[in-house]
A = this chain, B = another copy of it.
């Protein structure tokens, strides 16, 4: 079993690579080789099998074809331009999120071995005039270019799977928090930084109001779900290969209270509350109330409380 991870140098990509290194198999088949691909060749994770880091621009079709020359059996396609950048730099979002993903699908199809393709879509595919509670049959109505590019490629992932070209599985990720590292151009970046920075004694700004609700999941849960996504048999997915992952809904206020419960009250005092209309506008287009019934039926994991997320962040990313 050969594995390819795009975005394999990103924070989720590295955690996923580590999880696969530890698990050592997919669908009971031993992993023999893993490639972590990213714009710059990542440092490979340690594993009992061969792991390599390679540079890959998914916007370049020839490079993507080359990455598929070894016919990976399982592909985790995480590479993407984040929401804030895709909104501000439309052409880059189009090149990477739309055409880059179409390149991956075409290369996977032409590899000819019907690879498993686990694709990270996003809750950003929902928005606009839709019912308050989103279920498995709610229309995708993205209100960001990032969400539109994800929604468009979801349609193609399901079609490539229906045609038997690939065995695709698309996961609409909740906001992943708490993320380690630095703030990025995602409009949701603050949803990690207002916990990550204060927990390490630094200040961070919250650009939206305290009562803004967030549909979130912890990195641990999301990585477990990415690993799980390769497992259920094709038939179990039915006629739509994409689904909303489980998550939890809390307001910013509830999340800050959870941080205080776990780590004491000093951290919350380091949050500043200066509104940012650009971020607020993007966030207003997102939705926070979902009923992910299909995902739960297929055995995907659900967070229990944001307090766990704070604990896991401290364990996995501060004290490591």
Kindly list chain B residues whose C-beta atoms are within 8 Å of the C-beta of A155. 140, 142, 148-149, 151-152, 155
Kindly list chain B residues whose C-beta atoms are within 8 Å of the C-beta of A153. 152
Contact B140 A140 (CB under 8 A): yes
Asked if A238 lies at the interface with its beta carbon under 8 angstroms from chain B, I say yes
Kindly list chain B residues whose C-beta atoms are within 8 Å of the C-beta of A298. none
Instruction: A151 to B154: give the CA distance in the assembly, Å.
Output: 10
Contact B162 A143 (CB under 8 A): yes
Contact B142 A140 (CB under 8 A): no
Asked if A158 lies at the interface with its beta carbon under 8 angstroms from chain B, I say yes
Contact B138 A139 (CB under 8 A): yes
Contact A139 B140 (CB under 8 A): yes
Contact B140 A239 (CB under 8 A): no
Asked if A257 lies at the interface with its beta carbon under 8 angstroms from chain B, I say no
Asked if A13 lies at the interface with its beta carbon under 8 angstroms from chain B, I say no
Interface size class of A (residues with CB under 8 A): 20 to 34
Contact A159 B145 (CB under 8 A): yes
Asked if A278 lies at the interface with its beta carbon under 8 angstroms from chain B, I say no
Asked if A112 lies at the interface with its beta carbon under 8 angstroms from chain B, I say no
Contact B137 A131 (CB under 8 A): yes
Q: List the B residue with the shortest CB-CB distance to A131.
A: B137
Instruction: A152 to B136: give the CA distance in the assembly, Å.
Output: 18
Asked if A11 lies at the interface with its beta carbon under 8 angstroms from chain B, I say no
Kindly list chain B residues whose C-beta atoms are within 8 Å of the C-beta of A141. 158, 239-240
Asked if A156 lies at the interface with its beta carbon under 8 angstroms from chain B, I say yes
A111 to chain B, nearest CB (A): 15
Asked if A170 lies at the interface with its beta carbon under 8 angstroms from chain B, I say no
User: Residues 232-246 of chain A: 1 if any B CB is under 8 Å from the residue's CB, otherwise 0?
Assistant: 000000111000000
Name the residue among A90, A98, A239 with the largest chain B CB count within 10 angstroms: A239
Kindly list chain B residues whose C-beta atoms are within 8 Å of the C-beta of A211. none
User: Residues 97-141 of chain A: 1 if any B CB is under 8 Å from the residue's CB, otherwise 0?
Assistant: 010001000000000000000000000000111110000111111
A94 to chain B, nearest CB (A): 8
Contact A129 B239 (CB under 8 A): yes
A124 to chain B, nearest CB (A): 11
From B130, B158, B163, give the contact of A137 (CB < 8 A): B130
Q: Which 7 A-B pairs have the closest CB atoms?
A: A128-B239, A148-B159, A152-B152, A152-B155, A151-B155, A148-B155, A137-B139
14 further interface pairs, Cβ-Cβ under 8 Å (given A152-B153, A152-B155, A155-B155): A98-B102, A98-B156, A127-B239, A128-B239, A129-B137, A129-B238, A136-B139, A137-B139, A140-B140, A145-B159, A145-B163, A148-B155, A148-B156, A148-B158
Question: Hey, which bits of chain A sit against chain B, CB under 8 A?
Answer: 90, 98, 102, 127-131, 136-143, 145, 148-149, 151-153, 155-156, 158-159, 162-163, 238-240
